[in-house]
Amino acid sequence: MFRRNTILLGSAAVLIAIQMMAIAAQQSVKPGNPATDWPMFSHDLAGTRFSPLKQINANNVGKLKLAWSMPYRADRSSAAAGGLGGLTEATPIVVNGLMYLPAETRVLALDAATGKEIWKFEVPSSPGNALSRRGVTYWPGEPNIPARIFVTAGRRLIALNATTGESAQGFGNNGEVDMVVPYNSPPTIFKNLLFVGANVGEQPATGPPGNTRAYDARTGAKIWEFHSVPQPGEVGNDTWPADGWKDRTGVNNWGFYMTVDTERSLLYTVFGSPASDYYGFDRKGNDLFGNSVVALDANSGKLKWYFQTVHHDLWDMDLPPAPILMDITVKGKKIPALIQTGKLGLIFILNRVTGEPIFGVEERPVAQSDVPGEFTSAT
């Protein structure tokens, strides 16, 4: 009896030790520290692109020296091809001393201090499914799920183990999810939610929808999908002619990232012009949610408010950048604000809770088209 109990206790101890080792391995990558890292495309979910680091200042910036470099394009004649590849647009992210970025057909993890490669993941490429050149997304994981790196490749959403670079099992099908509609930018991460836009054609007028979508960072399941062209019964459907909303493409968040008011769980997604972008004969009306900044409940995708910057766009006046969130003081009162720019060259300053302009917005009459059959918004 004593020997049997000893064996059972020993086995239990081994099992506990194995479980503790597994948990330690899963937690080896800790959540990033925004005070020292650059954990996402715009540094933070408010889109500030501001680092609080003070090591480099006006007194020592002239003394900086090159620590390491990576070539922009690989020498394809070399057997050891490397480099970032052509037309790279990536903003690398840095978390706990590791730098993550896409490079040609690979996702890389580098020692941020030395540039030494820690791991690489080869992304098989096919027409229309090339690896995004714009960046990657870091998710710190959960107690039973290791930290992950997410990247898009056309309509594929790919998850990798942030420590090993291996496909993240348990996410979609062997670490991949088919988004059906492609997105060529890093997903925006909030809690366990991955927000993606859509890269769709601007001509012809019909094609895949430009909807903004949310996926579960743990499983890859789609959580919600917001109709950027409202369906019957939805707010804004009456801004399209009868059946003019059907199979309408464009109206897509094609930009590099989105922003989130984390206190209020509000996601801000911006949409470009409807397709066709220079032709409006078949879409008379204001065409919501084209050329609009839209606030959604981040958890459910439900519409909170919208603000359209161009009615019935005929000039491709998209809103490429996501808004910046900040608080401003007006007449002694602090107001949660949203700052939106775009191709118009104007700055819209809105209350980010209500969507109301803080300083007012003037609707100006515009020249009317004399092209037979064309429609131009009055303002």
Annotated catalytic residue, options 111, 316, 327, 370:
316
Q: Tell me the CB-side half-sphere exposure of residue 376, using CA atoms within 13 A.
A: 12
Helix/strand/coil for 23: helix
Residue type, 208: P
Rounded Cα gap, residues 251 and 236, in angstroms? 13
> SS3 for 264?
coil
DSSP state of 17: H
Distance in angstroms (rounded) separating the CA atoms of residues 205 and 201? 8
Contact predicate 321/305, CB 8 Å: no
| Cα–Cα distance measured from residue 309 to residue 291, given in angstroms and rounded to the nearest whole number | 6
At a CB cut-off of 8 Å and minimum separation 6, what does 377 contact?
286, 311, 312, 366
| Residue 95: CA count within 13 A, CB half-sphere | 24
Cα separation, 270 vs 255, in Å, equals 8
- Residue 43 vs residues 24, 123, 188: alpha-carbon distances, Å: 27, 25, 11
**Residue 336 near residue 356 (C-beta atoms within 8 A):** no
Contacts of 60 (CB under 8 A, 6+ apart): none
Q: Does residue 316 carry a catalytic annotation?
A: yes
Any idea which residues carry the catalytic annotation? 316
